Chain A
């Protein structure tokens, strides 16, 4: 859910669109900022919409686990950066039918809603903290939905190969350190398909604390997708493994699906 400021963002997007359509094999001379923008596009904006079953395994240091299974629906709106998310929890049984919806706005705070089936209660959620954990996992909201390219200063550290793939290693440091819990991060971005292969987060003492890895990347409907991902907190030993199953792009999701009504009453076909 990349939030892009219109003045710069739209320009960037048109540029991106041109680059993406004209040359799938990218130029080597791409700037760090462009590479990050493209990677964001590939990771968080692929297709017009998307549906996937997501299985998350939260592992403690001792190997104890919590399982979360959910269905994720996403739709990009025509306005640049605008997105809609719908999350339906299917497992464990005691949270089945819980739903969570996000309206991602590029210019202002996101809107979030939550439905608690046990109380049949819908609540708006005001949360302006993107650092906070996504459903208790090692992923933060930002890790799941993206971070504005303009919020960081990006520099190309080196060109390298990772597991046989040519990559750029890009260092991104936040312009406003107060808003984040990292002092900088390093991203390994695939030069050919812009898939984020690996990301390292360094804490305020410049010590490594989180590592993201794309463990399995494949093409789904011609879109490169990391279908297995892991975020590991190397400091506390916690780890979250995510598997995307039954991924479908461009299904033609209706706008009306992403409404407060759907929270408590999601059409069954979307959660099968």
Chain B
């Protein structure tokens, strides 16, 4: 390590040139970047839920990605111009590349099965748009009385219609949504259009994500540059700090891109993480500004500085690396990629701290340092003095500090008990964003934008022609439609009931499942002759062994879906459909499983990482006691943060699960700096309270600066358009401040309370 520092100090230009060269090599890989913004891919293709979903889609000719277009007209859609525009919109939409034209479902693409006396009529619903007012009124009345249409295709008030537009797997939902918007916008009517559905939300998020990253990462960088300068009045420090962050971001991203690994949502946040982790420079410069006046000569000051902060830097960086790398052991691939990416980036930061940073420091002119040092002393004296006082206070009132912290922790534990692990992609958008507005509008008027499939599988073929089975499905649907979450259900039973009624001159008494298998079988053949085969394929398979109850949910909330699925399971246990097993599938069910597997997996990974970090800390200090003490800030930060999340009723969602891992990097970092520097000081002075005060004041200042710097830098994210980034901003501030306070205030108090326990004759040393 010393050789590395020595070499860098002796050959600064060579080290800098080499670093720039390697960085350019990595940066050259970036244009090859592959992104994957589909949260679905967080679960591997081989996961049971994805495989079952694929199977269900294939059994029932369904599509994974369906855009829902709502067309709303104040005057109602039942006038010939509005209907004609709806028809024209459908015609235009099926021509968009990526749209699976044959399976677009809307008023213009379904058959209307009606009876006119003895005549059974089937024709495309919009084949003859009524010409007169009376005919239109009759048409309206007829459609609004058809349970196959309301509220799936027409809203009960007749003001909105929905089109379900499946798109190919490789197609981009946002781009297609934009094309649809352009096309339907050309209709020049008075309609309002709403575009919702999983592919729209997901791909809009994907596109926005990178835009927001591209906007807010540099913005955070700029704010930090300004603050760094305000704090240290040193462009060299500002430049060095930013250079280290850039190098680590470019090396790690470049490496992963070069390896052909796709960048997922989580990995896209890694630049922010690496910026936050790359704080070594602040600690190094913080120490150099104290050392230089003491030593007087630049080279010696640099070597002395590195000697003092080298050990804590190595240990904090290695612990952070291990913490993130341990995320890489879990089962969820994007979490693994994220873990390894940040771990590698942290190692790059470590390497830079011993090469690039000393090299750059060597190039600072001595006058610059000399001019800076007094300024630093003078200006910072107030802060140092204040921090010293804080240290003293927490020493004198150590019991109070520990007691208060304990109370806070206990309160937080109560909050943690109330935490709800939940994810809802729609809430990743702001309240008044187009995506959320559209989803709300459609869920208010129409059947619901989140599809859940309840797949009934019988042991025998032709089971779906059995009246008892169809009645069982009918009852299940009635149960489902009694739930506020469910907007609409559709099954083969609905088609059979409909045709039964229509064949009996639209007599409502025949809105029932017929008594015999043969009647149902003959109805089904008749339906095959009348409606689009696809409409039946969606609800019953070829051998009539499986049926699909299409259940439209009005919310994307994973916890609500779970409650419903549990209710259905309870209902089916009490009212089984004879000979039939019912299993959930579809995107709404997938989200529920995703929620459990990804978020719980993330949480477990985080707990495992924390335990690993505890071990590493104990190993680093060769002492369980010191390991535990340095673990205190991390524990405190995490517990208080989660407790707050639970108390304010915010869901534990993906952004929070990712963010919690950041506390691994920061809280531990602060604690190691504090404890190591305290131990060094204590070894030198043998004065407990003096050493604690000194540590709170001097390295503590580095910690506080560090925390303030990043808290302010990431505060800009509060202005982001996507709520996960707002969450990142808010929680970054919380993590920074909490872990800084835990290190500067709580740690001295804990150490002061148990000196006998912690400090035997000889303090074990931390050294490289």
Contact = CB atoms under 8 A, between A and B. Distances in A.
Interface stretch (B112-120, B351-359, B558-566): B112-120
Interface in B435-468: 462, 465
A205 B101 contact: yes
A123 B503 contact: yes
Contacts of B120: 114, 123-126
B190 interface: no
Contacts of B541: 60, 64
A124 B59 CA distance: 33
B674 to A, nearest CB: 63
Interface residues of A, number: 39
A116 interface: yes
Given A124-B120, A204-B101, A66 B542 contact: yes
B102 A98 contact: no
Contacts of A98: 522, 525
A125 B527 CA distance: 12
B211 to A, nearest CB: 30
B542 A135 contact: no
A65 B542 contact: yes
Contacts of B103: 236
A136 B102 contact: no
Given A119-B519, A235-B102, A125 B95 contact: no
B23 interface: no
Nearest to A233: B102
A127 interface: yes
B402 interface: no
Contact of B525 (A64, A65, A95, A128): A95
B119 A94 contact: no
A60 B542 contact: yes
Contacts of B119: 123-126
B329 interface: no
Given A126-B119, A127-B530, A118 B542 contact: no
B522 A118 contact: yes
Interface stretch (B122-130, B148-156, B415-423, B718-726): B122-130
Given A92-B521, A94-B518, A132-B530, A127 B542 contact: no
Contacts of B526: 114, 116
Given A94-B521, A128-B127, A205-B95, A121 B122 contact: no
B122 A125 contact: yes
A129 interface: yes
B101 to A, nearest CB: 6
Contacts of A161: none
Interface string B525-536: 110111011101
Contacts of B537: 60
B207 to A, nearest CB: 24
Contact of A118 (B61, B95, B516, B529): B516
B727 interface: no
Given A66-B542, A94-B518, A127 B123 contact: yes
Contacts of B528: 133, 135-136
A89 interface: yes
B106 to A, nearest CB: 15
A85 to B, nearest CB: 13
Nearest to A94: B521
Nearest to A183: B95
A98 B101 CA distance: 33
- Specify which of B111, B123, B462, B528 lies most central, judged by the most chain A CB atoms within 10 Å of its CB: B528
Interface residues of B, number: 44
Contact of B94 (A94, A95, A100, A204): A204
Contact of B111 (A114, A132, A236): A132
Contacts of A92: 521
Interface in A216-254: 235-236, 238
B525 A118 contact: no
Contacts of A116: 503, 519, 522-523, 526
Contacts of A158: none
A176 interface: no
Interface in B528-579: 528-530, 532-534, 536-537, 541-543
Interface string A124-153: 111111001111110000000000000000
A203 interface: yes
B121 interface: yes
Contacts of A65: 542-543
Contact of B517 (A64, A94, A123): A94
A133 B531 CA distance: 8
Contacts of B530: 125, 127, 132
A133 B532 contact: yes
A136 B533 contact: yes
B121 A127 contact: yes
Given A117-B522, A127-B530, A205 B121 contact: no
A243 to B, nearest CB: 19
Contacts of A100: 529
A167 to B, nearest CB: 28
B525 A135 contact: yes
A66 B517 contact: no
- Specify which of A94, A209, A238 lies most central, judged by the most chain B CB atoms within 10 Å of its CB: A94
Given A61-B58, A94-B462, A133-B532, A203 B102 contact: yes
Contacts of A132: 111, 122, 529-530, 532
B7 to A, nearest CB: 64
A164 to B, nearest CB: 34
B86 to A, nearest CB: 15
A257 B687 CA distance: 116
Nearest to A125: B120
Nearest to A59: B542
B60 to A, nearest CB: 10
Contacts of B61: 60-61, 236
Contacts of A89: 525
A209 B119 CA distance: 33
B374 interface: no
A7 interface: no
A189 B530 CA distance: 31
A133 B533 contact: yes
Nearest to B59: A62
Contacts of B536: 136
Contact of A123 (B94, B118, B518): B118
A209 B123 CA distance: 22
A94 B522 contact: yes
B121 A125 contact: yes
B121 A64 contact: no
A64 B519 CA distance: 23
B97 interface: yes
A173 B100 CA distance: 22
B392 to A, nearest CB: 76
B129 to A, nearest CB: 12
A121 B101 contact: no
A58 interface: yes
Interface in A183-209: 203-205, 209
A66 B518 contact: no
A262 to B, nearest CB: 18
A89 B522 CA distance: 11
Given A60-B542, A118-B518, A128 B123 contact: yes
22 contacts: A58-B542, A61-B61, A62-B58, A62-B59, A66-B543, A92-B521, A94-B521, A95-B521, A116-B522, A116-B523, A117-B518, A118-B519, A119-B522, A125-B529, A126-B123, A129-B111, A133-B528, A136-B525, A137-B533, A235-B100, A236-B103, A238-B533
Q: A-B pairs with the 8 shortest C-beta distances?
A: A136-B528, A94-B521, A64-B542, A126-B121, A118-B518, A118-B519, A124-B119, A123-B120
Given A118-B519, A126-B122, A132-B122, 7 more contacts: A64-B543, A95-B518, A95-B521, A117-B518, A124-B120, A205-B97, A209-B102
